[in-house]
Structures are given as C-alpha cells and as structure tokens.
Structure 1
C-alpha cells in the first residue's frame, strides 16, 4: 500500500509519467517472451528440418553419429563416477549397463556398425563377461534391403536395371550381411563370354545407405577410440586408423574383385593347393559385365559351410582332409604369399565334393573384401618367430617381441602366437599363493599389465590384429568339426617353408661357416622332432576321443582350456572367446 500512498502525494504530471512508464513496461515483457518463443520455434523447425533431410537424403548418417556420441558420453560418465574401490561390488552391474548400451547402438545403427561390432566382439574375449554376451550376436544375419533399393543401386551405378543385364534376377536375396546382400541371377547370351549363356551367377549388391554412412561411421569409431584412450589412459587409438582404412577398402567391390583374381593367381602358383582350393570366377569388363564399386558378379558355386559336419559326412568327405586343406590355405597365404583373406569364418569357406577327385573335398573361398598384405620384413619375422618357437630359440623370440614393441613374458608371448600353452622358459620357482582380489583390483591390475605389455604402441605391427583374428577363427573352425586337424603342426610346417624361402644366398659351410651350418642342421632336427612329438600326442588324443565316448572335447578344446588357464594365472586375463565359434 505504501507505493500507492506515495504516488497519491505526487503532482498530476509526475503521476501521469509513472502510470505511462508502468503501462508501457508490460508490452516490453511480452515482447521479450514472444521473441524467445519465436527463437525456440525456429530452432525446433530447423532441427526438425535437418533431421528430416538427414533421414531422407543422408541415410541418417549424422543422426547415427549423434546417437553414438550420446551413448559414448553416457558410458564415459558412468565409468568415471562408478568405477571406484568404494563401489567394487557394483562393477559387474556397471559393465552390464555399458555393454547393453553399446549393443543397442550397434543394433539400432546397423550397417557398418555391425562390422565394427564384429571387431569389438572379437576383442571381447579379453573383456568382462557382459561384453562377451553383448557382442556374441553381431555375427548373425543382417537385415536385407528391398528390391526397389537394389534396383536404385543398379540405376545409379550402371544406368541399367538388373533385367537389362541378366536373364533372370531373384528379387529376394539369398544372403544378407552387414554391408551387402547376394542375389541369384542368370547371364544373358551376350554376357560372360563363349559358353556362358544361361550361366548361374551370384550378384553381390551393396546396401545403398553404406555409401553415405561410411565416413561418418568411421569418424565416430575413431573418435570413440581416441576419447577412450584419453579418458582411461589405455593404448587403444593406435589401431583405429589402420582398421578404418581396411574397412573402407572392404566396401569397394572393385577392390574385392581384384583380391579374388589375385588369390586365384597365387593358388595357381601353389602346387600343394591349386587343384583342391577354388576361387569362383569374377565377371568383369573382359566378360562383358560392367564393374562397379557397389555391384559385383561372380560364378555361382554350390557348397556347404566349412563347419557343416552333417553335410560333410553325408558326402563321405574326410573331416581331417577338409580341415587340413582349410588350414593349409590360410597358412600358405600367411607364410608364403603374404596376402591374407582376413575373414575366414565358416560362411566364407565352403566345401564341396571334388569335381575330379572322387571322395575328396574341395575348398571354395568366397567374400574377398578384407585382405591384408604383409610387408616382406614382417612376414620374414613372423615365419622366423613360428620356427623359433619349435626349436626353442628363446633369444630370437625375445628379440622379435622387443622389435614389435611388446613387453611380455616369453611363455605368454609364445602361447599367444600359437594359441596353445607353450613354455620356452621353465620357471622352477614355485609361485606364491596370491590372495584373492576384488573385481576392481583385478581390473586395475589388468589395465596396468596391458599398458606395460604394449610398451611402445608405435612399433606394434598393425597386421598382428588381423593375423591373430585369422588364427583364432581357424582354431574355432577346427573345434567345430571336433578338432580333426593338428592345426599348430600344420601351420608350423608352412611357417618353415616360408622361413626357408625367405633365406637369401647360399647356406653352405663355405658361405656361412661351420658354426652356423651346424646350427641350421640342429635347428632342422629339433624342429622335426618337436613336430613328431606333437603329432604323436595329437594321435593319442584322437584315439581317446574315438574309443572313450565319455571323453568330452577335442584336441583344440583341451588346448583352449589350458591356454585360458595359463592366461588367467600368468597374466590375469579371463578368456572366453566363444564368439569365434559362430
């Protein structure tokens, strides 16, 4: 009431001025509110417009990246706040929350995220159990795109529809993966060359969204790896650039076609394999089929998956011969060619009865998108390492480990390369019993050990990422067939061939001297004896499997269990890599 009393004592002119100012102040307030409302509405319209454009014309590439950034930030904050000694009993729940968020991003974004999820899934063997469970699904079949979208890829890349090129073309895909799907078709009379009329072919078509999403997805992947390294002080980003470049190559079907042709040429130069391993023909410009980065035409070849034991037995194909061929093929690629198919899961290695050798298997290699070439020096070191493991040349093993920037106990390094327990140094001291630690303490200790192991990340050969993956996949393939093949010995023999081929110059007494010449002979003898002993143990294991039905698990299963136990005891790593068995 006081303000009114005071105004009443003022002169009329002053009262009028005050009333005028007080009434004119209200429109200003309403004007400011309206301005903010207009700004909010315009911002909303702009965001909605950008979202609609991104969704309609950009395959939601930006939206996917923002989704990834949001989940990445959420997971980071969750770890920063809740990964602490005071919450040690809640760490399992923390891992489960983060793993489920990452799984959600992969399932929602699809496309190239499935490939990146597979890379994470393969590394999940070293991660806590919730991650292994979350990433186990990424090897399953991916959803297909509609026939209209397939026709759109043909129109954009070739200015033609599928029926302009093929006599018939299946509207429904026969298989669908993360970045492409496969349709069955028949060639027209003027395609494929003489005698190819009506030839059945497989047409691989890239999903149209991949082209727009790829760079955004790879940028998101690299950003997450960089952020994780900075936030958690773990060497993770050093592989991101290499993996990104390989992923980029995998989306180019011209690159895949060239890989397939080169693989066929190298097989033709390998007498041990050339009749028993087959690469389906790729139809390109020379055969009258136009080539594209998103469309590839290949010969159709019928066969079963490498791990289809039931079908192999129906065809009366020997499981050991079949698996020996598959392992020999991958070993020849690694140690002799230096040109490696890096996705050897069972769906990419088919088997059929040999067309000309009755009762014998023939391996068919498909999906040649992901290959790596090994630099000569690295391939020579890798061959030398495998051979050194069998002749127990400890100084050479440790020299190569240091050269590669890996600080690791020689026993664990050898076992990691062979994927089987292996002792090059006998530890005679009895180990002290270590008191049980909390999950928090275990994972902090593991982090420190991993940092120490990767002491110089710049020296670590990036090729090891894919080589280890290939070795583990072949081990898993062997396990799925009941471990019929002596994988380690077969791989070692090919390593020895690669080692011998890498030697330059004469190895005669006159050239290298008596001491080196004698060492060569001794190493060769030890190598043969070691392989013989392992082969004998392997044979006894097979007999136990055959005559003792209660004996569960094959050779590879036993090696894997021993390796897991050694990893946990020696290095504090709990390994469970059933993701490789898909």
Structure 2
C-alpha cells in the first residue's frame, strides 16, 4: 500500500516501470502507456522515434550503396565489368519477361507491335553497351531474327559493323602477359593503330625481323585478342544462355544455347584458330577444283620461329577487297560470276566434301584479289578461321542425300530425313527452308482463312505451328543452325553483287558429287533394279538443274536488258517468292538483310 503523502518523482517512475512490465499495462492502448512515462522519457520518445528510424534506414542504404560502389569499381578495374554486364543483361531480361507477361494478351492485340519494338530496343541496347563478345552473341541471336517480328530484324541488323578497338597500351599488355615481351621485342615494326577491329580481336600490321640474308622482314598481320574477353567470356556466355532461354519461352523457337556456347568458347582460342587454318589449307590442297583459286594465308607459329599463344596469332599479310565490294571488283575487271562461283563452291566443298565448315563467311572474312598467276581471274582469300564445325559422317550423308532428293523429287526420302531430324513439316516448306528458295515437291491445296487474324492471333498460331513442326527437338542436328546461317550469308553476298551466280544449282552439283562419292552404288552392291533407278534419278537430276539454269539465265537477261526489271536479280526474286510462301504458310515475314554484313 502506498503512503498518504504525495510521492516523489522517483516513486512515480518506479510505479510506472512496474505497471509497464505487468500484463495489465500490456493490455492498454499506446496512449495509456505514453501517459505513464517519466516526463523525460516522454520528451525523448516524442523527439526520437521517427528520426531514429530514418537514421537507421539511411545508414543501411548508405552502407548498401558503399558496398555496391566498391563492388562496381572492383568489377570494373579487375574483372572487366563482367558481373556488371551480366546484371545489366539480367535486369533487361526480367523487364522484357514482365512486359510480355502483362501486355501479350488478346485484349491488347493492337499494341503487340509496340511491345516487340520495346523489347527489341532493350536487347539492342544490351548488345551495344556491353560490346565485346556480345556482338558475337548478337550474331547468334540474329540467326533466328529473320523469323521474328520486324523490330528484331532491325535490332540485329548492325551486328557485323566494325567494333571499337582498344588502345595500344592494352595490346602491349596482352603481349607482356602471354609472352613476357613487348611487340617491339618480337617485330621489326608494329603499327600502333589497328587496321581492323572485330568483336573479340583486332588486327595490326607488322613486319618480322629480317632473317639472315634478307634485307626486309616479311609483312604480317598480327591478330590480338582484346584483354577484357578472357575475363568476360564465361559471364557473357551465361548471359547468352539466359537470353536464349527467354527467347525460347517467349517465341517457342528452338535454340541449342549450349552447343553455340561451346563453339563460341573454341572461337576465342587463337591456337585453335591456327589449327583450323592449317587444316583448311590442307583440304584445299586435296581439292583440284579449288586449290589454285582459293588461298588460306600462312600462319606463322613456333615452328617458323615466330610467337603464338591463345591470344596472339601471326599470319601472312594479303591485300584484297571484301567479297561484296562490287566497285573494286569491277575496277580490277574481275568477272562477278566467277567471284561468286568460287565463294559458293568453296562453301559447298566444305559442307558436302570435307565435312569441315567455316561458319562465319560474312564479306569481311572472304577477301578477293586478282589471281597472282592467272591473268584476269579472281582468287578467293579465306581469313578468320576461329569458328569451324565438323559434320558427322551420318549427317553429311543425309544432307547430301537431301539436296539430291529435292531435285529428283524423291518425296519419301525427303520426309524420311525430316522425320529422322525430328522435324514434322510439309515437304514443300522443308525443301524451301533448306534451299532458301521456293520449292514445290508436292501440290498442296491452299487453305485461306476467311477472317484475317489479329497480330496476337497470328503469333499464337505461329507458336502452335512451330511446336507441331518440331516433333522432337532433341533429334534436330545442331549443325543445321550454322549451315543455315552460312547459306543465308552466301545468298546475301550473291544478292549484293546483283545475283551473278546460280547459287542453288551450284550447291546442288557439289551435293550430288559428294553423294556419289559417299554411297557405294555399284550394280553388284545394290542390285540391277536399284542401279537402274539411280541412273534414272541422275538423268532426272541433270534435267531439273537444266530447267533451273534456264530460268536463271532468263532472269539474268531480263535484269540486264529489260527496262522494267528495276535491277531485280535472281536472288531478289527467290527471296520475294520465299517470303510470300512463308507468309502464306506460317504468317511470318522473312528478311535476310541481317546476314548481309
């Protein structure tokens, strides 16, 4: 019991603390508790509660920003911004995914085009800002851009442009790290400014030190990998696989990101590239039709008394112009048809005869010069041998058989190969996709929808048809990804020069030749009936090629002499017809300008 006298402040404070700890005090409201506090506590509580929370959160934010800033600087200075680039890619990927989830719906069908435009711009921004290996990854994304809506084709139309170079100090750093030498220790002269710059490397012109008895050193091209690539590669490939996964989910398009990543990883090794160049030169020497007219610059390695590493490669210097430099070719008075025939024959020999394919045949990697020994004739120079793929024997045989079967209209064989590759596609569309030209194997009755589909409905239908087309994605040969890319690039090169070469016919002839070499078709091995059937197919094949050749030369004459042709060539017609067929069959617009480069 409390005394009757008025208690002092200390007793009030003690009583208040007793009540504060009791269950009764916990049951009353905030105001009751506040009234029983000591006066000094009342003042301190009222002045500190809100500011203290702000202070705590301010400290946390400040600490977070400081850690993030230090991490950013460390990543930039010691890791070539690899983590920052990946986080940037991840953020864009999340934004794009959320954008599609919210806005790709029937109720917003009229805004589908705007949605594609936003997403395409974001993806382009990532490629442009990150640079480096992202330019290569942009090219890989561009493999499928021709089948995507128009904004994506425009976004990846610049992936073959010249990439920014790094300063000489960084080039010298690569030499010192890999060889413990500077360029001046190795070469008699070395240009500080690069003559060419690509996504992963740049090329400098240099002169080797003169050997005994030489007055001048040999002129060479020195390919030096950009130093950031080594640190960025694995992070960039992880980001690429994530983007491809996103593309698969959004568009239901097949992509083997792991296969492409493996090829990309091999491409950044210059020792691997030097090995590819030497093997290509050996295979050319075994091909009588090409060995004098196609040349691979010599690679100087340790056996030649020169330097080599995974990031430095020294090659013979060759002067030439790009494959599609029409003005220079005409100035040299070279026949455009002979130039393109050589380029197409080279790619066809790699595909059908060698089974070892240069998979980056854009115009900058195929040079042309006047033949050093054949007056007035062209010579093709192959450079940049980083990306090759070997073709398994079974696939190469099937691919040769497929091309030949298309021209002899062997529908059962065409469908058999398609099923073996996990592709459920009508024969006409499958043939046209392989040849990159409209090709009708069987007559189909067109089914035209009475009611036009909205943009949303068209893309939903496209997804459905692609799912149906790809019965078993695991069976699809991964080599098809790169072979299709090569075909598109050669088609675009031919188109830029005015379509002087009958690309499809020339490729088919190489396929037929290799088919005969791969298949033992003697009368004793296959029997009289099959042997006679083969002879008939050969005659039919020759007849079909003759008809296509006739159409080609008719188009060439019309292109040259008709005032109404508007300069439209053979490839222009094929592309327009193939585009019409794809639009009618799949509701998609095909555009190969991404592969022109």
Give the TM-score category using the shorter length.
over 0.9
Q: Deviations over 1:411-454 (max 9, x none)?
A: 00000000011011112x45445421110111111111111112
| 2:596 corresponds to | 581
My pick for the range that moved more, 8-17 or 157-166, is 8-17
| 2:218 corresponds to | 199
Structure 1 vs Structure 2 CA RMSD: 2.0
Map 1:481-520; keep pairs closer than 5 Å: 481-504=497-520, 507-520=521-534
Checking the alignment, whether the CA contact within 8 Å between 1:397 and 1:410 is kept in structure 2 is: yes
Q: Deviations over 1:275-298 (max 9, x none)?
A: 000000000011111211111100
**CA positional deviation for 1:119:** 1.7
Q: 1:519 to 1:166 in 2, by over 3 A?
A: same
| Alignment partners' CA distance in 2, 1:551 and 1:520 | 40
Is it true that 1:15 corresponds to 2:32 in the alignment?
Answer: no
**CA positional deviation for 1:389:** 0.3
**CA positional deviation for 1:112:** 0.6
Map 1:349-368; keep pairs closer than 5 Å: 349-368=366-385
Indicate which of 387, 396, 399 corresponds to 1:382.
399
| Alignment partners' CA distance in 1, 2:425 and 2:291 | 39
| Alignment partners' CA distance in 2, 1:250 and 1:572 | 36
Q: Deviations over 1:245-292 (max 9, x none)?
A: 111111111111111000000000000000000000000011111211
| Alignment partners' CA distance in 2, 1:45 and 1:297 | 45
Indicate which of 487, 490, 497 corresponds to 1:471.
487
**CA positional deviation for 1:184:** 0.4
| 1:452 corresponds to | 468
| Alignment partners' CA distance in 2, 1:182 and 1:255 | 17
| Alignment partners' CA distance in 1, 2:214 and 2:425 | 58
| 1:47 corresponds to | 68
Checking the alignment, whether the CA contact within 8 Å between 1:385 and 1:400 is kept in structure 2 is: yes
Aligned-partner SS, 2:338: helix
Q: 1:202 to 1:194 in 2, by over 3 A?
A: farther
| Alignment partners' CA distance in 1, 2:532 and 2:341 | 33
Map 1:435-446; keep pairs closer than 5 Å: 435-446=451-462
- Structure 2 unaligned segments of length 5 or more: list them: 15-36
**CA positional deviation for 1:52:** 0.6
Indicate which of 173, 181, 185 corresponds to 1:152.
173
| Alignment partners' CA distance in 2, 1:108 and 1:547 | 47
| 1:59 corresponds to | 80
Q: 1:116 to 1:196 in 2, by over 3 A?
A: farther
| 1:83 corresponds to | 104
Checking the alignment, whether the CA contact within 8 Å between 2:109 and 2:456 is kept in structure 1 is: yes
| Alignment partners' CA distance in 2, 1:256 and 1:542 | 39
| Alignment partners' CA distance in 1, 2:435 and 2:213 | 48
**CA positional deviation for 1:384:** 0.4
Q: 1:41 to 1:128 in 2, by over 3 A?
A: same
- Structure 1 unaligned segments of length 5 or more: list them: 1-7
Checking the alignment, whether the CA contact within 8 Å between 2:492 and 2:592 is kept in structure 1 is: no
Aligned-partner SS, 1:350: strand
| 2:27 corresponds to | none
| 1:234 corresponds to | 252
| 2:542 corresponds to | 528
**CA positional deviation for 1:106:** 0.7
| Alignment partners' CA distance in 2, 1:388 and 1:103 | 40
| Alignment partners' CA distance in 1, 2:402 and 2:213 | 49
| Alignment partners' CA distance in 2, 1:64 and 1:53 | 13
TM-score of the two chains, using structure 2 as the length reference: 0.92
| 2:117 corresponds to | 96
| Alignment partners' CA distance in 1, 2:293 and 2:133 | 34
Q: 1:272 to 1:233 in 2, by over 3 A?
A: closer
**CA positional deviation for 1:489:** 0.7
Q: 1:101 to 1:430 in 2, by over 3 A?
A: closer
**CA positional deviation for 1:12:** 4.0
| Alignment partners' CA distance in 1, 2:466 and 2:272 | 35
Q: 1:53 to 1:290 in 2, by over 3 A?
A: same
Aligned-partner SS, 2:291: coil
| Alignment partners' CA distance in 2, 1:181 and 1:232 | 36
Q: 1:12 to 1:431 in 2, by over 3 A?
A: closer
| 1:215 corresponds to | 234
**CA positional deviation for 1:139:** 1.4
| Alignment partners' CA distance in 1, 2:539 and 2:428 | 22
Checking the alignment, whether the CA contact within 8 Å between 2:340 and 2:494 is kept in structure 1 is: yes
Is it true that 1:130 corresponds to 2:148 in the alignment?
Answer: no
From the CA coordinates, give the structure whose radius of gyration is larger.
2
TM-score of the two chains, using structure 1 as the length reference: 0.94
| 1:3 corresponds to | none
Aligned residues, how many? 568
Aligned-partner SS, 2:297: coil
**CA positional deviation for 1:579:** 1.5
Indicate which of 325, 333, 340 corresponds to 1:308.
325
Checking the alignment, whether the CA contact within 8 Å between 2:427 and 2:442 is kept in structure 1 is: yes
My pick for the range that moved more, 134-143 or 201-210, is 134-143
Q: 1:134 to 1:150 in 2, by over 3 A?
A: same
Checking the alignment, whether the CA contact within 8 Å between 1:280 and 1:300 is kept in structure 2 is: yes
Q: 1:233 to 1:541 in 2, by over 3 A?
A: closer
Checking the alignment, whether the CA contact within 8 Å between 1:187 and 1:196 is kept in structure 2 is: no
Aligned-partner SS, 1:138: coil
Checking the alignment, whether the CA contact within 8 Å between 2:307 and 2:314 is kept in structure 1 is: no
**CA positional deviation for 1:372:** 0.5
My pick for the range that moved more, 443-452 or 260-269, is 443-452
**CA positional deviation for 1:538:** 1.1
Q: Deviations over 1:379-428 (max 9, x none)?
A: 0000000000011100000000000001111000000000011011112x
Aligned-partner SS, 1:103: helix
Checking the alignment, whether the CA contact within 8 Å between 1:122 and 1:577 is kept in structure 2 is: no
Q: 1:243 to 1:27 in 2, by over 3 A?
A: same
**CA positional deviation for 1:25:** 5.6
| 1:257 corresponds to | 274
Aligned-partner SS, 2:461: helix
